[in-house]
Amino acid sequence: MPFLGKDWRSPGWTWTKTEHGWKRIVLCGEDLEDNNREMDLKELCSDNKENLYVGDVCELATTKRKKDFYNNNTKSQFVFRDKWIYVQKGSTKERHGYCTLGEALNRLDFSSAIQDLRRFNYVAKLFQLIARSQLTSLSGAAQKNYFNILEKIVRKVLEDHYNPRLVKELLQDLSTTLNSLTVHVGRCVLVGNVNIWLCRLETIVKWQQQLNNLQIPKQMCNGMSFSDLPLHMQNKILYKLSDAYDIINLGQATPTLHILSENRTLWKKLCHFHFSDKQFCRNLVLTKSDNVDWKLMYFTLQKHYPMKEQYGDTLHFCKHCSILFWQDCGHPCTANNPDSCLMPISPQHFIDLFKF
């Protein structure tokens, strides 16, 4: 049940029904204790009318001091209990306004999603697309949340050594965009002080250096290793990989894996997985013996066409409720068959949902 708060720009307070009546849900950061209070408001705001105005001023000053303290020290934005968001593109009788990309970034709990390996690549790819074209469309709070989550992504890669190549590409695209905005386009398109953005650029450079110097330690295992598996099982594992760079890197481990990674049938299957037959006909690559070089064909097609994306878990969109959510968190759906209304959302589709 929404009620308007003090700030008319905010979506309002959130209330819940209890045995004693309606009670307001307090978000994270609203109850911060300020230990630097210099005056006791109860003494100032007494029955004495002369102190009434002083008490109001002190209350406003204390509220502002709490807000500044929270904004300067917090590492995350508001904590929302609901992990879904209603995607609204126009005004109706019931709802006015629209949903922005920044609101979705704050509401969908990407900070916890990166801790799940099924969602890590999905979130990293989404952040890469935002860095390329949508960074200036984010609000100041959303940009702050974006860089806080990005810091957690880099920290996870440094600690767990998980997919550093994808995060390197993300940081490179982000660095290119920020350099273009601060030098060529102009600083007026950036929200906030320019010194903040210069500090963020320095932080990105530091992250890039840390990832470039990342050394993955060799794991000591006394049991069976990948090389001890039979050849047909190693070959079957290679056929399950959908990323060409993973196949190439795995082929550099041992001479046997190098032979398996150069198999023409493997690269042919990879080409058919990512590209269509029409695309083959337009970019046919033949060897001297008139045979198709499938490995070269793959990298040629990669330059002209987008590849099929695969993720362990993605955001889902309910076509009945127009709600975007993580599937394991659920959402309040009123459809008779909710599963039939669900649609997985790719990172690019997520960006397109908030283009007006």
| Domain-wise residue ranges, the chain | 97-216+315-355, 243-304
Residue with tokens 């965009």: 177
Confidence band of 203 (pLDDT split at 50, 70, 90): very high
Angle formed by the axes of helices 164-179 and 140-160, nearest 10°:
150
Question: Which residue has 């990512």 as its token pair?
Answer: 274
- Please tell me the distance from the alpha carbon of residue 266 to that of residue 302, in angstroms, as a whole number: 16
pLDDT exceeds 90 at position 157: yes
Q: Is residue 335's pLDDT more than 90?
A: no
- pLDDT band (50, 70, 90) for residue 27: low
Asked if residue 137 has pLDDT above 80, the reply is: yes
Residue positions counted in the chain: 356
Q: How many helices (H) and strands (E) does the chain have?
A: 15, 6
The confidence score (pLDDT) of residue 1 equals 46
- DSSP one-letter code for 24: E
Q: Is the pLDDT of residue 95 over 50?
A: yes
Q: Does residue 346 register a pLDDT over 60? A: yes
pLDDT digits (tens, 9 = 90+) for 240-253: 888 888 899 889 88
- 61: alpha, beta or left, given left = phi > 0 and alpha = psi -120 to 50? alpha
How confident is the model over 230-235, as a mean pLDDT?
Answer: 90
The mean-pLDDT minimum among 78-82, 273-277, 316-320 falls in 78-82
Per-residue model confidence (pLDDT) at position 84: 84
Residue 37's pLDDT is what?
44
Average pLDDT over residues 265-285: 82
Helix (H, G, I), strand (E, B) or coil at 3: strand
**Three-class secondary structure of residue 29 per DSSP:** coil
Highest mean pLDDT among 37-41, 109-113, 119-123, 223-227: 119-123
What would the pLDDT profile of 214-223 be if each residue is shown by its tens digit?
A: 887 777 667 7
Higher pLDDT, 181 or 267: 267
What is residue 183's DSSP assignment?
I
Report the alpha-carbon distance of residue 343 to residue 327 in Å, rounded: 10
User: Which of 32-41, 105-114, 268-277, 310-319 is least confident?
Assistant: 32-41
pLDDT band at 40 (very low <50, low <70, confident <90, very high): very low
Q: Note the maximum CA span of the chain.
A: 100
pLDDT at 130: 93
Say if CB 46 and CB 95 are below 8 A apart.
no
Residues 85, 324 contacting (CB under 8 angstroms)? yes
pLDDT value, residue 54: 45
On average, the pLDDT of the chain sits at 78
Q: What pLDDT band is residue 52 in, cutting at 50, 70 and 90? A: very low
Say which residues have a Cβ less than 8 Å from residue 111's Cβ, sequence separation at least 6.
Answer: 76, 148, 149, 152
> What's the pLDDT band for 150 if we cut at 50, 70, 90?
very high
- The tokens for 160 are 């767990």
Kindly state the average pLDDT of the residues 64-71.
52
- Per the model's pLDDT, the better-predicted residue between 207 and 332 turns out to be 207
Per-residue model confidence as pLDDT tens digits over 9-19: 455 667 777 88
CB atoms under 10 Å from CB of 343, counted, come to 11
